[in-house]
């Protein structure tokens, strides 16, 4: 198998089709579980097009949210959607956050830590910018346990000898790795939770457009017409549709939260 290129999140509209519905349902479960209270100051690291930031605004009534992502295109898409005055959108990297220490009540990465080349550095940056007693939390798809929404696609691409790009730090999606990292950083009151979600697609064409054509891995552009047809056939065979043609796909994530020592 040839080795896949890294995933680049550049196209905000494609991301909206591909991931935002997943991100909203898992993000809502994550926020319900975090239960951070209202009126808190947040940093949303790897905010992408702002899908999770919008949830924080709607569900947690924050006093402020600093939302940051390295992709200009994603931040541009977020700027078009989010006008709330308490949100500050910036371009930057999880491993070098441009914020002073002990600033935020809540630091989160929603579907980000497994993309950060050095997850320990990313988590320690979240801890640094969190106030003593504040919450440091993250969730990612359970990549190692087959929980990522793209798993059916990945399986079929693997079977065709055309592996799709995996998140570079997929190992951190394991509960054991997460717990070890949070413990190593001295984060207190650590809890973990599996978040299980499902998404329905109106029919196979809806699935294909959302999960294959819109994938940030740019899969279709890298396949010949014959390979594209084969992938389509494999996915159609694999994904069970209801009598009305609706396709339901499940995914699950590993979440962790804890508090910075006071």
What is the contact surface with ligand SAM in residues (CB under 6 A)?
A: 9, 19, 23, 27, 45-48, 51-52, 69-71, 74, 93-95, 110-112, 115-116
Measured from the CB atom, the residue of 189 and 198 that comes closer to ligand SAM is 198
Residue with tokens 């930057």: 92
State the nearest-atom distance from the C-beta of 174 to ligand SAM, in Å: 18
Measured from the CB atom, the residue of 110 and 212 that comes closer to ligand SAM is 110
State the nearest-atom distance from the C-beta of 49 to ligand SAM, in Å: 7
Residue whose beta carbon is closest to ligand SAM: 48
State the nearest-atom distance from the C-beta of 67 to ligand SAM, in Å: 8
Measured from the CB atom, the residue of 43 and 247 that comes closer to ligand SAM is 43
In which region does residue 63 sit, left (phi positive, over 0), alpha (psi from -120 to 50) or beta (all else)?
alpha
Measured from the CB atom, the residue of 94 and 239 that comes closer to ligand SAM is 94
Short-list 201, 224, 114, CA closest to 152: 201
State the nearest-atom distance from the C-beta of 238 to ligand SAM, in Å: 23
Measured from the CB atom, the residue of 119 and 152 that comes closer to ligand SAM is 119
Judge contact between 38 and 61, C-beta under 8 A: yes
Measured from the CB atom, the residue of 56 and 239 that comes closer to ligand SAM is 56
Determine the 3-state secondary structure of 68 from DSSP: strand
State the nearest-atom distance from the C-beta of 233 to ligand SAM, in Å: 28
In which region does residue 31 sit, left (phi positive, over 0), alpha (psi from -120 to 50) or beta (all else)?
alpha
Q: Which residues on adjacent β-strands are paired with residue 201?
A: 247
Burial of 13 (0-12, 13-18, 19+ CB in 10 A): exposed
Residue 17 to residue 7: CA distance in whole angstroms: 16
Judge contact between 89 and 52, C-beta under 8 A: no
Measured from the CB atom, the residue of 48 and 147 that comes closer to ligand SAM is 48
Expressed in percent and rounded to 5, the helix, strand and coil fractions of the chain are: 45, 25, 35
Short-list 1, 13, 44, 5, CA closest to 210: 13
Q: Which residues on adjacent β-strands are paired with residue 45?
A: 68, 109
State the nearest-atom distance from the C-beta of 119 to ligand SAM, in Å: 10
State the nearest-atom distance from the C-beta of 37 to ligand SAM, in Å: 21
Judge contact between 147 and 134, C-beta under 8 A: no
């Amino acid at each position: 198998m040839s080795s896949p290129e890294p995933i680049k999140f550049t196209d905000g509209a494609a991301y909206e089709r591909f991931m935002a519905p997943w991100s909203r349902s898992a993000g809502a479960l994550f926020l319900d579980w975090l239960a951070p209270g209202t009126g808190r100051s947040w940093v949303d690291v790897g905010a992408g097009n702002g899908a999770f930031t919008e949830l924080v605004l709607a569900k947690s009534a924050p006093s402020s949210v600093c939302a940051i992502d390295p992709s200009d295109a994603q931040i541009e898409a977020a700027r078009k959607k989010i006008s709330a005055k308490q949100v500050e959108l910036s371009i930057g990297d999880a491993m070098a956050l441009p914020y002073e220490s002990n600033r935020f009540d809540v630091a989160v990465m929603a579907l980000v830590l497994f993309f950060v080349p050095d997850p320990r550095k990313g988590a320690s940056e979240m801890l640094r910018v969190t106030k003593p007693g504040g919450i440091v939390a993250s969730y990612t798809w359970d990549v190692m346990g087959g929980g990522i929404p793209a798993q059916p696609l990945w399986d079929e691409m693997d079977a065709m000898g055309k592996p799709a790009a995996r998140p570079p730090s997929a190992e951190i999606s394991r509960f054991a790795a997460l717990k070890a990292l949070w413990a190593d950083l001295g984060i207190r009151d650590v809890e973990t939770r599996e978040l299980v979600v499902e998404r329905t697609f109106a029919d196979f064409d809806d699935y294909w457009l959302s999960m294959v054509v819109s994938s940030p891995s740019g899969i279709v552009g890298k396949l010949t017409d014959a390979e594209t047809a084969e992938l389509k056939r494999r996915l159609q065979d694999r994904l069970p549709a209801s009598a009305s043609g609706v396709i339901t796909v499940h995914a699950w994530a590993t979440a962790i939260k804890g508090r910075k020592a006071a």
